Structure 1
């Protein structure tokens, strides 16, 4: 009877252990959830896309090189896109360069552009917007701190279709292109030459032969003068004749 009782207990314990649910680990439960299935499908899609990119680059190397160059250029331009502080520093630097010149020597184009930028900056109407690959500087109608209704109403703000007409400068590849263009030949006053004929208003750079000739003449100007014997004899004879003629002239009566 004791043996039968022990066997019955063992049979009941085995049945209970077989009927109990199997406990899963947290990682297996996470993989079986909806989020785990979605992540696995996403990783599978990315893996397949990368495999197709590698196969396409191997089959078409020229096209792949072109795309890689464009992507690298876009990343470089995005990394070197100037901000508003860069524009302000460049503006102050160009203003200092222009201020060192006399008003009679400044270019009217450069001076007028810098004066208009200074006026808008003092009024607080300059705005900056970054488009990723490039930056834009444009002007608004009011300072942002103005409490007028026209300045605070969003319906009266600058519209996107009016933005191209308000753009003052474009920042690309670490430079402000319009500012550099306006400051070209800033130390030349065009008004001084407007009365000259057209062919004298335009100057062309010298050729290579002209530059070599000017350099040769400059070097020869520093050489000592050489006088040959014939020139020395001629100079001595001329001096003697002048001294003899001076002695032969009669002295005026006093």
Structure 2
């Protein structure tokens, strides 16, 4: 019985030793593999690059601040550039603003620009392109779904040098700049003032004396009337 126990212990110790040696050799192979070696060298390169970046920032803070400002501005522009859905929402909002005004008050420039955009949108000819920092809205001669020969043949397609003429709006930092500029003074019909004399077309801000006189007249208008004896 005792001999059997001793033999079993010897075999168990030998088995544990063989398992430990096999696991050790396996981990040695993993450590010396190409993937682990490549990962170790990559981490070393990143570590060295980060160290050089910190040293460069410490030695040239003004240059580093300039680069960080440019990078931060580029990231801000990239994250805040509008998309086509925002252009549609802005266009419909401007159309509603113009629709609430009478044709006698509506600005002709604003109205014609918005109506042309709505016409192109309804025809499916307004397209959007993302250029990273900015977005462009442009029109084409045909809708992308059109099956005409002129719309599908690349030989008769519009040249790229004519593309700037087709740009309708530029989206940058969350705004559509051309649409906003066209909607400036959208509730002022400038055609009403075409037949006025020259001196009436130009208006200057009132002086301080005129403002004070108008305020005094406004205050006096609220005072009770004083009647003379004859008037009574």
Normalised by the length of structure 1, the TM-score is 0.73
Matches within 5 A, 1:126-145: 126-145=126-145
1:207 to 1:163, Cα distance in 2 relative to 1, 3 A: farther
Deviation at 1:77, TM superposition (A): 1.4
1:25 maps to: 26
Deviation at 1:30, TM superposition (A): 4.5
Q: CA RMSD in A?
A: 2.9
Matches within 5 A, 1:71-150: 71-150=71-150
1:51 to 1:190, Cα distance in 2 relative to 1, 3 A: same
Classify the secondary structure of the residue corresponding to 2:25: coil
Deviation at 1:84, TM superposition (A): 0.4
Matches within 5 A, 1:140-179: 140-179=140-179
The CA distance in 2 between the partners of 1:209 and 1:44, in whole Å, is 76
Q: Deviations over 1:160-193 (max 9, x none)?
A: 4332221100011111010010011011111111
Normalised by the length of structure 2, the TM-score is 0.79
Structure 1 unaligned blocks of 5 or more: 1-16, 240-254
Classify the secondary structure of the residue corresponding to 1:24: helix
1:37 to 1:155, Cα distance in 2 relative to 1, 3 A: farther
Classify the secondary structure of the residue corresponding to 1:77: helix
Deviation at 1:117, TM superposition (A): 0.7
The CA distance in 1 between the partners of 2:35 and 2:203, in whole Å, is 73
1:137 to 1:209, Cα distance in 2 relative to 1, 3 A: farther
The CA distance in 2 between the partners of 1:60 and 1:216, in whole Å, is 63
The CA distance in 2 between the partners of 1:29 and 1:155, in whole Å, is 61
Deviation at 1:111, TM superposition (A): 1.0
Matched, 1:62 2:59: no
Deviation at 1:153, TM superposition (A): 2.8
Deviation at 1:159, TM superposition (A): 4.4
1:203 maps to: 203
1:162 to 1:48, Cα distance in 2 relative to 1, 3 A: farther
Bigger shift: 198-207 or 142-151?
198-207
Structure 2 unaligned blocks of 5 or more: 1-17
Deviation at 1:31, TM superposition (A): 4.5
Deviation at 1:200, TM superposition (A): 2.7
Matched, 1:220 2:216: no
2:3 maps to: none
The CA distance in 2 between the partners of 1:58 and 1:75, in whole Å, is 23
Deviation at 1:210, TM superposition (A): 4.8
1:245 maps to: none
